[in-house]
């Protein structure tokens, strides 16, 4: 019984070169029931991630030996696990670069521990939705019984976590798939960035809504023939996004 419980414990890799921050995160995450492992430089972080295969990574951008953006890219090339970037800079380009390289989320220092823990839980919960077919979500959109969504050239297989465009399988990250699924569930319905942040990211989001714009741009690069004139994922200027119903 104890072994079974131990297997259910989620492991979080904390990567930061500031020991006081590591100590605070370790204390609070262990209090929430998580197992933590730590690295203080980028090279160690990559090796530890590939060997330990944690359930989630909290990754600082400014690191010795190898910066956090490079760590993110290397890890995402091998593992599809949530990465939350930590940055001391309130600098737009760092955040956007992190998301472009595959990070799932970011939070700026100094951060609220409560908010960080909420984001950790939300990102892990999204992984559970995909991994556990018995999961019964609360969202009325996700309660639909269909295992496939087809809209025009777009087809989503919810069981296989697979997207096809014109019959070709498209490789999407978990977050990209969730955004596309949410929009495709109600084709033609415009969804605001704020609603997407709340429903797809799984919590009330504080601050920059550019996160949605970057994720949508990444999706378009994969599913559209011409990103300058998208035919599937459409922008309603000043409002939000929708999937063309045709």
pLDDT of 136 reads 45
Is 236 within 8 Å of 192 (Cβ atoms)?
no
pLDDT top residue among 8 and 226:
226
CA distance 86 to 103: 11
Quote the distance between the C-alpha of residue 242 and its chain's center. 20
Per-domain residue ranges of the chain = 2-131, 148-243
- Decide if 2-131 and 148-243 have a common fold: no
Q: What percent of the chain has pLDDT over 70?
A: 83
List phi, psi (to 5°) of 33: 95, 10
- The two beta strands, 11-15 and 56-60, are parallel
For 148-243, CATH gives 1.10.10.10
Look at the block and give the residue holding tokens 């077919």.
133
pLDDT tens column, 194-232: 888 878 876 555 556 778 888 899 899 999 989 888 999
pLDDT tens column, 64-115: 999 999 999 999 989 889 999 888 766 666 777 777 788 888 888 888 888 8
Look at the pTM and tell me if it is higher than 0.75.
no
pLDDT at position 184 over 80: yes
pLDDT of 92 reads 63
pLDDT at position 4 over 50: no
pLDDT of 161 reads 79
Topology, domain 2-131: Rossmann fold (3.40.50)
pLDDT top residue among 166 and 12:
12
Binned at pLDDT 50, 70 and 90, residue 143 comes out as very low
């Amino acid at each position: 019984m104890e072994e079974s419980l131990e297997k259910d414990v989620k492991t979080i890799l904390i990567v930061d070169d500031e020991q006081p921050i590591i100590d605070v995160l370790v204390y609070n995450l262990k209090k929430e029931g998580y197992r933590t492992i730590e690295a203080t430089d980028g090279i160690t972080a990559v090796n530890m991630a590939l060997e330990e295969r944690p359930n989630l990574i909290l990754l600082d951008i400014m690191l010795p030996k190898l910066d956090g953006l490079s760590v993110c890219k290397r890890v995402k090339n091998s593992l599809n696990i949530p990465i939350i970037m930590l940055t001391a800079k309130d600098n737009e380009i760092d955040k956007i670069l992190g998301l472009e390289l595959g990070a799932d989320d970011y939070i700026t220092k100094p951060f609220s521990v409560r908010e960080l823990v909420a984001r950790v839980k939300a990102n892990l919960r999204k992984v559970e939705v995909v991994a556990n077919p018995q999961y019964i979500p609360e969202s009325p959109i996700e309660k639909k019984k269909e295992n496939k969504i087809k809209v025009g050239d777009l087809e989503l297989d919810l069981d296989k976590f697979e997207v096809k465009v014109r019959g070709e399988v498209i490789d999407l990250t978990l977050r990209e798939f969730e955004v596309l699924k949410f929009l495709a569930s109600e084709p033609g319905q415009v969804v605001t960035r704020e609603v997407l942040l709340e429903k797809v990211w799984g919590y009330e989001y504080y601050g920059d809504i550019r996160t949605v714009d970057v994720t949508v741009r990444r999706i378009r690069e994969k599913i559209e023939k011409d990103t300058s004139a998208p035919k599937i994922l459409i922008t309603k200027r000043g409002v939000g996004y929708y999937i063309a119903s045709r």
